[in-house]
Structure 1
Amino acid sequence: MTFTKARSKAAGCAAFAFAALFAGSALADGTVNIYSYRQPDLIKPVLEAFTAETGIETEVLFLDKGLEDRILAEGTNSPADVILTVDIARLTNAKEKGVTQALDDATVNGNLPAEYRDPEGHWFGLTKRARVVYASKDRVTDTALTYADLADPKWKGKICIRSGQHDYNLALFSAAIAHWGPEKTEEWMKGFKANLARKPDGGDRDQAKAIAAGECDIALGNTYYVGLMQTNEKEPEQKEWAAAINVIFPTFEEGGTHVNISGAALAKNSPNRDNGVKLIQFLSSDKAQQIYAEQVFEYPVEPGLEPSDVVKAFGELKADTLPLADIAKNRKAASEMVDRVGIDDGPSS
């Protein structure tokens, strides 16, 4: 298996040069080419299992941005067969930019619940992560919260978050709009902003670090970052950040905890379409979901499949059943609301 790492570059000649580089493998039998926003090391175990089971080799191009534009620039010459990414916004963006194709496959549809699939078959959720509250073990006694509670004045000056415009927060705010409607969500967001301890900054792990440092008491973060911090041997200080927090699964009234997904899509001009379909079928299987979830500390989307022991220790996840396609529809409204309320300006503006 060959893993090719690259950074996104300007469209045009560079894109076609890459297409030429993969020309041999793109036309060969027994190969599937993957364009991925997910780090190669994270997907390596599940791709190795796919090759062991099917004999089909994989080629991976990793990009940290510009994946959709790369495929557009390559056009009909694109070697991409399958797109792997995280977040419902990125999956729907790939669909909206026209770089995916519909797949109506009985195996895939049977493996994945409808709420984690595009109704038109352009993307498929493979694993899920919850948007939860990181709470200080020393300073927070609450063991249960709702998302609405985050606007309660009792938390004034005690909440940390990354940018409100980040995809993970926009997905949560989009879910709030779907549950509450725009007016109630905007009132909630104003209260939430007033409770911030500082201007939004950093990533999810930085919020845990801030809690450990006493800069805030609670924060929003994804579940899988806790597992990554707890098991980080290269940067052991992250274990200390994880040890400083408890995970609380907030819920929407008459709903569950907001979840987002990692997912796959079949590229529009897939030259190895049959192999691409086989890969998506495999990724949707119970076996692959568990390998994938174990590696990245996420939850399988298939009901009844168990997460890793590390993830189980966080507590019970009762995932919201709101279809992700419905959440994605509110993304533009959520982004505009974040700017209107001034979330990223911090609490005092």
Structure 2
Amino acid sequence: MKITRRFLLATITALIAVVVGHFSHPSPVVAQQPVINLYSARHYDTDNALYESFTQKTGIKVNLVEAEADQLIERIKSEGANSPADVFITVDAGRLWRAKEEGILQPISSQVLNSAVPASLRDPDGSWYGLSKRARVIMYNKDRVNPSQLSTYEALTEPQWKGKILVRSSSNIYNQSLVGSMIESLGAQPTEQWARGMVANFARPPEGNDTAQIKAVADGVGDIAIANTYYLARLMKSDDAAEKAAAEKIGVFFPNQRDRGTHVNISGGGVVKTAPNKEGAIKFLEHLVSPEVQEMFAKGNNEYPVVEGVPVDPVIDAFGKFKSDATNAATFGKNNPEALQLMDRAGWK
């Protein structure tokens, strides 16, 4: 077949029209939902409702990755500049300090967070913020100890408590942070003397978690334990009759009320240095310190809100009001290496 010049021109013109028409009317593009990737060492199912409320409020979806704090820190480091992590949340200020020192967090500027979170419960540079708090208190067997005998952490080294004190291992971060706070307040040498006095008064070599110490006090293995408040609250709310019975034998005493106050630690979080969605990450942390969310966040693990005026869970509130140690939580991590060394020298296993 003979192709005429006129036919060829007509064909080319038609093709051009099709192409132009295609680009003039492109296929519709479906917008992707914005997301933040949350790396969390908090393992409480109740937190899921808080994430859902954030999505409903902002339209930003929360992708949750859960593991232990040290595992998450190492994962973020190994992912490097391509890490999808936006927010890192964990328990204990010492771990948050470690995350900052490892270079995985970035300082942020948020008037909402700075106004809501007390200065003692956040990083001075804005790299992390406390989101809930717990008190590390003296718990005692109500049948064996009169609370009038109790006063301070330091007084637990007195001879009357020989063979009567229960506490978990020095490898536990909560004990390390308590000792770190004492180093900041008292100095290293007095704190080491205190640790030696504590070891001399142990009822047994340290074993088990805080719950194990509380149950041992209830069973008469010792008279006194140092433990976080939420562990007792869990036993009080337990469906297990034996655990409830054990909890009923325990009293709570807030030490050092006439001086620096009772040691408090935190659950907290910060924005990851390489966060793909920094703006969304900041909004998420701000969401967690809003009054309505604070109440839910704290109740999820029987903790205290960090925001003043937020209602406290009735079980926790029944322990009583107390003065908190205002030592900045960042010092717990800063003093951690020295705390470990002096506890080791003191024989605190």
Instruction: State the identity as a percent.
Output: 41
* Aligned residue identity for 1:321: A
Shift of 1:55: 2.4
Q: Hey, what's the Cα distance between the residues in 2 that align with 1:252 and 1:185? A: 18
Query: TM-score by structure 1 length?
Result: 0.87
CA deviations on 1:117-147 (whole Å, 9 max, x unpaired) are: 1111110001110000110011111244211
1:35 correspondence with 2:36: no
Aligned to 1:166, which of 169, 172, 178? 172
Aligned to 2:255, which of 209, 229, 250? 250
Q: Is the Cα contact below 8 Å between 1:147 and 1:252 reproduced in 2?
A: no
Aligned to 2:21: none
Shift of 1:40: 4.2
Aligned to 1:225, which of 222, 228, 231? 231
Aligned to 2:126, which of 99, 121, 125? 121
Shift of 1:237: 3.1
Q: Report the structure number with the largest CA radius of gyration.
A: 2
Q: Is the Cα contact below 8 Å between 1:165 and 1:338 reproduced in 2?
A: no
1:149 correspondence with 2:155: yes
Aligned to 1:5: none
Other structure's SS at 1:322 match: coil
Aligned to 1:279, which of 274, 277, 284? 284
Shift of 1:159: 0.5
Other structure's SS at 1:127 match: strand
Shift of 1:204: 0.3
Aligned to 2:80: 75
Shift of 1:307: 1.2
Aligned to 2:5: none
Change (3 A) 1:194 1:44: same
Name segments (4+ residues, structure 1) moved above 3 Å.
Answer: none
* Aligned residue identity for 1:97: E
Shift of 1:252: 6.6
Q: Hey, what's the Cα distance between the residues in 1 that align with 2:61 and 2:246? A: 39
Which runs of 5 or more residues in structure 1 are unaligned?
1-26, 345-349
* Aligned residue identity for 2:66: F
RMSD: 1.6
Aligned to 1:49: 53
* Aligned residue identity for 2:113: V
CA deviations on 1:234-290 (whole Å, 9 max, x unpaired) are: x44322322221111112762110000000110111112221111011112222211
Shift of 1:105: 1.2
* Aligned residue identity for 1:296: N
Q: Is the Cα contact below 8 Å between 1:99 and 1:267 reproduced in 2?
A: yes
Aligned to 1:58: 62
Q: Hey, what's the Cα distance between the residues in 1 that align with 2:72 and 2:32? A: 23
Change (3 A) 1:316 1:323: same
Aligned residue pair count: 317
Query: TM-score by structure 2 length?
Result: 0.87
Q: Hey, what's the Cα distance between the residues in 1 that align with 2:143 and 2:212? A: 18
1:86 correspondence with 2:91: yes
Q: Hey, what's the Cα distance between the residues in 1 that align with 2:204 and 2:257? A: 25
